[in-house]
Structure 1
Amino acid sequence: MDFLSGVSPSVWFAMGGAFAVKLLELTELHKLPAVERPDFKDWLYWFPFFTLPLLGGGLAYAYVSSDATLSPMLSINIGVSAPLILRAMAQVNPIESSVVRIPEDA
Structure 2
Amino acid sequence: TVTAIIAEKKSIKISGRKVHPALTGAELAAVTKEANRPIDVEGIRVEAINVGSPAWQNGLKKGDIITMANRRPVKTLQELADAINGSKSLLLNIQRNNGAFFLVIR
Q: TM-score, normalised by structure 2?
A: 0.24
Higher helix share: 1
> Structure 1 length as normaliser, TM-score?
0.24
Please tell me whether Structure 1 or Structure 2 has the larger radius of gyration of its CA atoms: 1
Structure with the larger RCO, 1 or 2 (CA within 8 Å, 6+ apart): 1
